[in-house]
Structure 1
């Protein structure tokens, strides 16, 4: 090989070493950049030139032509990245449901001195006091006040559940906007990656940004991705294209704007270009919110909580009214209904105390006389009845606690799996400063070696050109 060929080989070595240092510097610079995947220079040996012509020398040693920089590889892992998306989807769904159950449990506030259970006990105790002192205005006033306390707590509790539902719907609307925005960005990145790859440029940083967005979509809407041969990706939600290359099919939130309307018009996600076509979510935070806002018959967390309040209101009104209507007041008048419901409102929100004065509190059985407290005693006994209001409320609270504990456990497991998947991906693709330091030293030594080759060839050429034929000098 001629000296000029050696110069080219040394130059290629310098260029390869410099490219390696450039990429190492990029890695070090992005050691704290979220979503960045470390990169490596891809190199290959350049084969020697093929012999041509009749004047070739059969015994001449033919060396290669140095090294070629073939590109910059992104050291990601498709399997680990897919696992991160899948576990993020499960984590998003489970976490939202667990949060919804915790919020509903906080609203119920059981067991506590301020819960409905305590209010019910005070209510039955007031009836027992009336049974022991029939006709006394003071005890009758206590019954009315305790009844109003139950009415107030029922309305307040159900109202707070409705507020939690409203907040969940608002959050779901914000998540839908985030999904559409992320989808638009992915489609734009697909176009940029396609153009950059066609021009021979590096697309690694663009792919990193796109992967972050696809992971975000997985957590938000349980999105899945499929890779195309041209370097673009498709994003699917519920088996249908959210992103198809550079085209986006947006989604929108539809359904009832209130908790009580979900029975006939559940909140759902639809394709914006196909009104009425529901998106079958497979996971993600959106699916968690939609499940929490579902009707009670479909396992809706808020709707079931509201139904618990309505059931208690209906049970206590029906059972107290059934006994109170058979009783007589101290003046001998029929007792009538103790509770009534306001028309057009749910039971817990529309429950009212019909008796407003002590004289309207009926305690005596028909013909029992003004000092008879047998009916009041029977009403007080509802507190310990197997099918009484307390039993119904206790069953509701217990069921809620069991479901909440299960949801919390699911969320803990999902978060653990998601964290493990993310850590596995980081251990494979994140930048290690120790490793980059070693690489930098290797490239530095390679550069110095190639430069030394250039120096040696330069001295050889100087001897050949400037000193050939000058004997003795």
Structure 2
């Protein structure tokens, strides 16, 4: 025979369960604008019916319901969407960093826009001045223009080299700063793993810790492509089946985070280049660096004794400066000055883009535009000097063209990756973000259920009052 107070217990359970629903809804509303928060839902489950299966059970047509319980409060989140988002986030981190580095190079070289004033224009002006000198070899004013434009070429080479080197050093500082940031994220994830591992065996679902851990993992994925695996907690204890367990994070098969420890990223530099990359002493080859912002920074900064976008560009500038000086000096040396002496060097050779300069003692009369020894001023050698510059100009234009194509490709890849990331992020937000309209509907639903449970208690109370105070008084 069921208890007289069976209905009260059923209604009481309903009260507590709907109350939990209301509190969870309120928490969702409170965190609607909290970064990284995932909406939560209460798992309601009907409690075991009465009577239970037993040998001496009461005979009923069927089991009588005993109410409801809030089994758990879980996050509404899809792990597969997290995997997709982190993969696209790594691509965005890589290509966005590449696009930024290439944009800086384009700004430094200044060969685009309506009024480009980069090295190409300065070389062209220098060549034009020699062509002008070929038609006016005796004009001191034209000779002075040649000298000033020669200084301008050397100054531009030096400016480009020093500016690119400055930005390369800035990339090195970014590498160091991001290494610290990555290690801080790994340390935070490891700490959260430990806290979660301590709480889950007691039957708790630490949703706030889950959210914070996922936020850190999302941020980490922008620096490097990672693989995340959920590992259930220890079998002992009272951990729920839906508990998420700890995260094991791998990079190229290396477990950088597991249940026992995390491995710090180490980036060693030598002679101005990245020499080694490792996680806790486990080396990673440069070719196997995971896609992400860190790989882009290292590739642009330079590694392995001169490989990389910026170092290779600096080496190319050195080569162009040396070729320019050698070509101009060689052509000029074949000509003759006004006094009949053979022309000498105009530029320092072999000093690279950082060291190239026009010789300080060069005066207008030191120029040798003629091919005749009597210095009659035929201007033919001036044309030869002008033609000697053309090869460097063509090579420089090809270099600028390659940089432009690479910059365009980096921007296209960045936009493509950003579009895919946005699409995945929208799908993820549609699942896990808080919708105030939906929460208000749930609030009304739980409120009505709570009121109905309270009304049930009132009705049962009236029934019991009738039994206690209204029965057994006949015949008094």
TM value normalised by structure 2 = 0.91
Partner of residue 264, structure 2: 250
Partner of residue 419, structure 2: 416
Q: In the alignment, does 2:349 pair up with 1:341?
A: yes
Residue by residue over 1:111-163, the C-alpha shift from the partner in whole angstroms, topping out at 9 and shown as x without a partner, is 43421122112111221222222243322222111101000001001111111
SS in structure 1 at match of 2:277? strand
SS in structure 2 at match of 1:248? coil
SS in structure 2 at match of 1:270? strand
Residue by residue over 1:264-316, the C-alpha shift from the partner in whole angstroms, topping out at 9 and shown as x without a partner, is xx455323445x65574221111111111236998722123323422321222
Residue by residue over 1:363-389, the C-alpha shift from the partner in whole angstroms, topping out at 9 and shown as x without a partner, is 222535342321112112345x4xx12
Partner of residue 439, structure 2: 436
CA distance in structure 2 between the partners assigned to 1:223 and 1:257 by the alignment: 30
Partner of residue 237, structure 2: none
Partner of residue 240, structure 2: none
Segment of structure 1 superposing worse, 295-304 or 108-117? 295-304
CA distance in structure 2 between the partners assigned to 1:171 and 1:255 by the alignment: 13
Within a 5 Å distance, the mapping from 1:150-165 to structure 2 comes to 150-165=153-168
Partner of residue 370, structure 2: 364
Partner of residue 183, structure 2: 180
Structure 2: segments with no counterpart, 5+ residues: 234-244
CA distance in structure 2 between the partners assigned to 1:402 and 1:299 by the alignment: 19
Partner of residue 373, structure 1: 379
SS in structure 2 at match of 1:419? helix
Work out whether residues 326 and 366 of structure 1, in 8 Å CA contact, stay in contact via their aligned partners in 2. Answer: no
TM value normalised by structure 1 = 0.92
Work out whether residues 92 and 284 of structure 1, in 8 Å CA contact, stay in contact via their aligned partners in 2. Answer: yes
SS in structure 2 at match of 1:365? coil
Segment of structure 1 superposing worse, 179-188 or 245-254? 245-254
Partner of residue 454, structure 1: 457
CA distance in structure 1 between the partners assigned to 2:54 and 2:39 by the alignment: 43
1:79 offset after TM fit, Å? 0.6
CA distance in structure 1 between the partners assigned to 2:422 and 2:306 by the alignment: 30
Work out whether residues 337 and 375 of structure 2, in 8 Å CA contact, stay in contact via their aligned partners in 1. Answer: no
CA distance in structure 1 between the partners assigned to 2:54 and 2:228 by the alignment: 51
Residue by residue over 1:59-84, the C-alpha shift from the partner in whole angstroms, topping out at 9 and shown as x without a partner, is 46530211121101111000111111
1:21 offset after TM fit, Å? 0.5
Q: In the alignment, does 2:52 pair up with 1:50?
A: yes
Residue by residue over 1:187-228, the C-alpha shift from the partner in whole angstroms, topping out at 9 and shown as x without a partner, is 110111111111222311110100010011100122221111
SS in structure 1 at match of 2:92? helix
Partner of residue 196, structure 1: 199
Within a 5 Å distance, the mapping from 1:179-328 to structure 2 comes to 179-230=182-233, 231-256=245-270, 258=272, 262=273, 266=274, 268-274=276-282, 278=285, 280-294=288-302, 300-328=308-336
Aligned length, in residue pairs: 459
Change (3 A) 1:205 1:295: closer
Residue by residue over 1:235-274, the C-alpha shift from the partner in whole angstroms, topping out at 9 and shown as x without a partner, is 222321221124111112212463xxx4xxx455323445
Q: In the alignment, does 2:170 pair up with 1:167?
A: yes
1:395 offset after TM fit, Å? 0.8
Change (3 A) 1:364 1:53: closer
1:452 offset after TM fit, Å? 1.4
RMSD: 2.1
1:323 offset after TM fit, Å? 0.9
